């Protein structure tokens, strides 16, 4: 059988603690990728699991006063529960203490020993237990571990070695001839220089202290945990046990991991092991960045770790949204906030802001507005129309293609941005077509077509976001009255031009993401004192207008600034606004804002600004003002 399955893996986690948003990230991304490929109709296999034979796991068990086996059994179940509560749909969960894995590790060890890729030698050197890594003297930083800064131990042992040094040239050749192999590009360069520095053979056994996989024929030693752990990626899919299964799944299409375990382990040691075994190398190894919280490293000792499940529960309690939808908000934030590959920072303020502006506003508003008008004008039944408006339809088609290209190249931020641009286009379409005026003028056919089209955008969005936000996608489908068929829809169904059966009963609208109070409840802003009085005459000098945002983009080199083109009805002008920290450019297009229109022009960072946008100031954060009803651009504010 030949390979016909898209195979994606996460690292297997040390079971010394429960996942926080940092290490849940890899698993969330893997879940998004697996769901995306399934949605495209591909067979997929998504593997995760636990790394149980490590010294640090045995140490954690000792601290908990438990036998290591009892401890890992318990923690592995905890991990499974956490993944389940996060909506992670893996296909298999491998534990490295399982016989199916141990057998493969033993067999590989024997085989590589026989063929000379493993040999016996004396080891003397430094070992970092928390990182489970050997270091040379010159790699230490001030005598400490170069990775984690903790103390290292001097180890003197007779050990078995893996002949890594023999693979340098082949590794470099493979990297060069497979440009997709190591991603992102900037980390590839790190790998190349690491290999070019010269690879040393790796000691792959340790003294047996009662925990780990004993070396076959030499039980005084156990197999080094990384040699054991990396093999999970093949042992879980039938290597040496079920050749048919194995050849339908291996090589992996995408192996995901954090940057800390990318260069040395996954891009050097792992491919060299596969080469020694004569197995194909994975198609892509991707090393993502690390999350910090409020600018600080996530650490057990600081106690700043955030559990994604707890975050979702708190959010559900506060907002009244469903728990699984709140989890989707966490997934959305992590995929949207940071370019995949780069480091990212998690702050409650930016999370809450995205919840309000992207989810409650952009996504929620389009659905709520469309469905409430369907209820008001068509008794809640999908109106009769031939198909989606042709201009809006071409936006949908372009969005599907752009989102697909972005997902294929693992640019999740860009994928979601594309969907949000489509939502903005949907909101703008309603603003432009003014269905409420069509209703007043009894233009029922046109009204039906406008609302049908707006709903078509929400349906397309539901399909495209479903890998990222599965519960939300389902909830949109439920409110649209298409829940039954939704499970059988595929990615390309987002391009259906006549996606609804007219007269289908819709439900709601029920806001999926009820808005949160902008500031966290605990640190609500202080209300500043009202300034000195002015006369009406002074006030009337200000020409305040409603303006519509036509386009928005970042000002290059200025993190906080956006350049907007706004319409005042009969004229368009450019303004610069310091709101980039809180509003993405695409979330603004189509939105009505309040503008001080007669402020004298100024240049901000060299960019001309012809007017000033007004916003509420809450602890230095800008919150835009929006009219309560639809108001034409240019309307005066008095
Ligand atoms: N057991 C090894 C992996 C063996 S794979 C054959 C291991 N486990 S781990 O539990 O320490 O880390 C698992 C993953 O979590 C790694 O990809 C790591 O990069 C990731 N992260 C841990 N903290 C993180 C953040 N703060 N942010 C993002 N990812 C983080 O290493």
Q: In the prediction, which pLDDT does 523 show?
A: 46
Alpha-carbon span 203 to 133, nearest angstrom: 10
Query: What value does the mean pLDDT take over residues 482-503?
Result: 96
Residue 299's pLDDT band (cuts 50, 70, 90): confident
Query: What value does the mean pLDDT take over residues 263-270?
Result: 98
| Ligand 1 atom 9: residue of nearest CA | 13
∠ CA(430), CA(493), CA(591), 5° rounding? 20
- 269 CB near ligand 1 (under 6 Å): no
Q: In the prediction, which pLDDT does 521 show?
A: 47
| Of 615, 616, 637, 468, the residue nearest 568 (C-alpha) | 637
Q: In the prediction, which pLDDT does 629 show?
A: 72
Burial class for 72, CB neighbours closer than 10 Å (0-12, 13-18, 19+):
buried
Q: In the prediction, which pLDDT does 384 show?
A: 94
Residue 347 has pLDDT above 60, yes or no: yes
Mean per-residue pLDDT over the chain, rounded: 93
| Ligand 1 atom 20: residue of nearest CA | 23
Predicted structure pTM score: 0.81
Residue 42's pLDDT band (cuts 50, 70, 90): very high
Locate 414 and state its tokens. Answer: 């860009």
Residue 407 has pLDDT above 90, yes or no: yes
Query: What string of DSSP letters covers 591-628?
Result: -EEEEETTSPPEEETTEEE-SEEEEEEETTEEEE---S
Residue 381 has pLDDT above 70, yes or no: yes
Give backbone dihedrals phi and psi of 297, rounded to 5 degrees, phi first: -60, 140
CA of 296 to the centre of ligand 1 (A): 17
Residue 406 has pLDDT above 70, yes or no: yes
- 399 CB near ligand 1 (under 6 Å): no
Q: Which residue has the tokens 């490590």?
A: 54
Q: In the prediction, which pLDDT does 522 show?
A: 45
Q: In the prediction, which pLDDT does 518 show?
A: 64
Q: Which DSSP letter does residue 458 get?
A: H
Burial letters 365-400, b for 16+ CB under 10 A, else e: bbbbbbbebbeebbebebbebeebbeebbebbeebb
Query: What value does the mean pLDDT take over residues 526-545?
Result: 85
User: Do you know the residue count of the chain?
Assistant: 638
Locate 318 and state its tokens. Answer: 């506060």
Percent residues over pLDDT 70 in the chain: 98
Model pLDDT for residues 58-99, shown as the tens digit of each residue: 888 999 899 999 999 999 999 999 999 899 999 999 999 999
Helices 168-177, 185-196: inter-axial angle, 10-degree rounding: 160
- CA atoms 317, 321, 327, 330: torsion sign: negative
Query: What string of DSSP letters covers 299-353?
Result: -TTTT----HHHHHHHHHHHH---HHHHHHHHHHHHHHHS-BTB-EEE-HHHHHH
Alpha-carbon span 594 to 602, nearest angstrom: 18
Locate 179 and state its tokens. Answer: 């440009």
Query: What value does the mean pLDDT take over residues 334-360?
Result: 93
Percent residues over pLDDT 90 in the chain: 79
Residue 301 has pLDDT above 80, yes or no: no
- 60 CB near ligand 1 (under 6 Å): no
CA of 13 to the centre of ligand 1 (A): 7
Q: In the prediction, which pLDDT does 526 show?
A: 62
- 13 CB near ligand 1 (under 6 Å): yes
Which of 169-183, 284-298, 546-560 is most confident?
A: 169-183
Model pLDDT for residues 575-591, shown as the tens digit of each residue: 999 998 888 887 788 88
More confident residue, 534 or 284: 284
CA of 286 to the centre of ligand 1 (A): 13
Which domains are assigned to the chain? 6-289 (3.40.50.620), 345-495 (1.10.730.10), 536-624 (2.40.50.140)
Contact predicate 380/504, CB 8 Å: no
Query: What value does the mean pLDDT take over residues 602-623?
Result: 88
Burial class for 453, CB neighbours closer than 10 Å (0-12, 13-18, 19+):
buried
Residue 1 has pLDDT above 90, yes or no: no
Locate 122 and state its tokens. Answer: 């004396």
> Ligand 1 test: best mutation among 258, 282, 300, most atoms within 8 Å of CB?
258
Radius of gyration in angstroms for the set of CA atoms belonging to the chain, rounded to a whole number: 28
Model pLDDT for residues 156-205, shown as the tens digit of each residue: 878 999 999 999 999 999 999 999 999 999 999 999 999 999 999 999 99
To the nearest 10°, report the CA torsion of 28, 34, 40, 45. -170
Query: What value does the mean pLDDT take over residues 30-57?
Result: 96
- 305 CB near ligand 1 (under 6 Å): no
- 436 CB near ligand 1 (under 6 Å): no
- 260 CB near ligand 1 (under 6 Å): yes
- 340 CB near ligand 1 (under 6 Å): no
Assign 525 to helix, strand or coil.
coil
Contact predicate 613/565, CB 8 Å: no
Q: In the prediction, which pLDDT does 529 show?
A: 79
């Amino acid at each position: 059988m030949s390979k016909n399955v898209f195979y994606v893996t996460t690292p297997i986690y040390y079971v010394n603690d429960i996942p926080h948003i940092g290490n849940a990230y890899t698993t969330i991304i893997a879940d998004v990728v697996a769901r995306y490929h399934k949605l495209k109709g591909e067979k997929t296999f998504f593997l995760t699991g636990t790394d149980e034979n490590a010294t640090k796991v045995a140490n954690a068990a000792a601290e908990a006063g438990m036998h290591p086996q009892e401890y890992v059994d318990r923690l592995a179940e905890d991990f499974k529960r956490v993944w389940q509560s996060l909506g992670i749909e893996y296909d298999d969960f491998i534990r490295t203490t399982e016989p199916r894995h141990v057998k493969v590790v033993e067999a590989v060890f024997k085989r590589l020993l026989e063929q000379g890729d493993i040999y016996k030698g004396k080891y003397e050197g430094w070992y970092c237990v928390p990182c489970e890594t050997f270091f040379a003297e010159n790699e230490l930083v001030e005598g400490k571990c170069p990775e984690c800064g903790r103390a290292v131990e001097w180890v003197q042992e007779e050990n078995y070695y893996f002949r890594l040094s023999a693979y340098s040239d082949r590794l470099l050749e493979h990297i060069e001839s497979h440009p997709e192999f190591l991603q992102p590009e900037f980390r590839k360069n790190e790998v190349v220089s690491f290999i070019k520095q010269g690879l040393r053979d790796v000691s792959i056994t340790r003294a047996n202290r009662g925990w780990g996989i004993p070396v076959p024929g030499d039980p005084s030693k156990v197999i080094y945990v990384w040699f054991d752990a990396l093999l999970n990626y093949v042992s879980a899919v039938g290597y040496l046990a079920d050749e048919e299964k194995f050849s339908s799944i291996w090589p992996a299409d995408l192996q995901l991991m954090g940057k800390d375990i990318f260069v040395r382990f996954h891009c050097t040691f792992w491919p060299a092991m596969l080469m020694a075994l004569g197995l194909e190398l994975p198609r892509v190894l991707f090393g993502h960045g690390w999350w910090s919280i409020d600018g600080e490293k996530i650490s057990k000792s600081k106690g700043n770790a955030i559990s994604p499940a707890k975050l979702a529960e708190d959010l559900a309690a506060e907002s009244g949204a469903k728990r699984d939808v709140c989890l989707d908000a966490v997934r959305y934030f992590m995929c949207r906030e940071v370019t995949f590959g780069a480091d990212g920072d998690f702050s409650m303020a930016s999370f809450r802001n995205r919840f309000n502006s992207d989810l409650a506003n952009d996504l929620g508003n389009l659905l709520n507005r469309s469905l409430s008008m369907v209820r008001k004008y068509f008794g809640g039944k999908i109106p009769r129309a031939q198909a989606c408006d042709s201009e809006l339809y071409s936006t949908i088609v372009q969005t599907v293609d752009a989102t697909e290209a972005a997902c294929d190249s693992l640019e999740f931020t860009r994928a979601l941005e594309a969907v949000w641009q489509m939502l903005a286009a949907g909101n703008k379409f309603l603003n432009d077509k003014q269905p409420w005026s069509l209703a007043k003028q009894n233009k029922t056919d046109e009204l039906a077509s406008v609302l049908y089209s707006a709903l078509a955008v929400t349906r397309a969005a539901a399909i495209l976001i479903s890998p990222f936000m599965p519960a939300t996608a389902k909830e949109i489908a439920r409110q649209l009255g298409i829940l039954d068929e939704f499970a059988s829809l595929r990615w390309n169904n987002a391009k259906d031009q006549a996606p609804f059966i007219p007269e289908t009963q819709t439900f709601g609208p029920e806001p999926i993401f009820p808005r949160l109070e902008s500031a966290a409840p605990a640190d609500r802003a202080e209300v500043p004192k009202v300034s000195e009085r002015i006369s009406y005459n002074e006030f009337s000098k200000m020409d305040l207008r409603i303006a519509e945002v036509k386009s928005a983009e970042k000002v290059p080199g200025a993190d906080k600034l956006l350049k907007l083109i706004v319409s005042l009805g009969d004229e368009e002008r450019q303004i610069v606004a310091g709101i980039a920290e809180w509003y993405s450019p695409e979330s603004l297009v189509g939105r009505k804002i309040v503008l001080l229109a007669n402020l004298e022009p100024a240049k901000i960072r060299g960019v001309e600004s012809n007017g000033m946008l007004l916003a509420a100031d809450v602890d230095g954060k800008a919150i835009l003002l929006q009219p309560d009803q639809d108001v034409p651009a240019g309307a005066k504010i008095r």
